[in-house]
Amino acid sequence: GENVEQHPSTLSVQEGDSAVIKCTYSDSASNYFPWYKQELGKGPQLIIDIRSNVGEKKDQRIAVTLNKTAKHFSLHITETQPEDSAVYFCAATSYNFNKFYFGSGTKLNVKP
């Protein structure tokens, strides 16, 4: 099956700085890569996703890049704000898997 690794496990940045979280996956058949934000005591919320037919996708301050050759994808948050503080999970899947494989999570702390 698929194996998704996520780094770093914790990340502290100053408000206004950028944050980057990286994930690698093992199965070349994976073709869909979502990112979720989870606040304490709540369910994960989809914030951005990318499919294998594109290399980059951006939504305001959030962007995701995908390198299929190297089997890694990254989440980029620019101009970070304290409300960005949360745990972020990456995931990988393919239409053949019928389930999502999650990374171990990154706790982002944005200091005001």
Partner 1 sequence: GAVVSQHPSWVICKSGTSVKIECRSLDFQATTMFWYRQFPKQSLMLMATSNEGSKATYEQGVEKDKFLINHASLTLSTLTVTSAHPEDSSFYICSAWDRGGTDTQYFGPGTRLTVL
> Which positions lie near partner 1, rule CB under 8 A?
32, 34, 36, 41-46, 49, 89, 91, 98-100, 102-105
Quote the least distance from Cβ 23 to partner 1, whole Å.
12
What is the closest distance, in whole angstroms, from the C-beta atom of residue 69 to partner 1 in the complex?
24
Q: Which CB sits closer to partner 1, 71 or 97?
A: 97
Give me the DSSP letters along the chain.
Answer: ---EEEE-SEEEEETTS-EEEEEEES-TT--EEEEEEE-TTS--EEEEEEETT-SEEEETTEEEEEETTTTEEEEEE-S--GGG-EEEEEEEB-TTT-S-EE---EEEEEE-
Closest to partner 1 by CB, 46 or 79: 46
Please state the closest distance from residue 16 (CB atom) to partner 1, in A: 27
Query: Smallest distance, Å, CB 15 to partner 1?
Result: 24
| Cβ–Cβ < 8 Å for 3, 101 | yes
Q: Which is nearer to partner 1, 77 or 91 (CB)?
A: 91
First to last CA, the chain: 41
Complex with partner 1: residue 63 or 92, whichever CB lies closer: 92
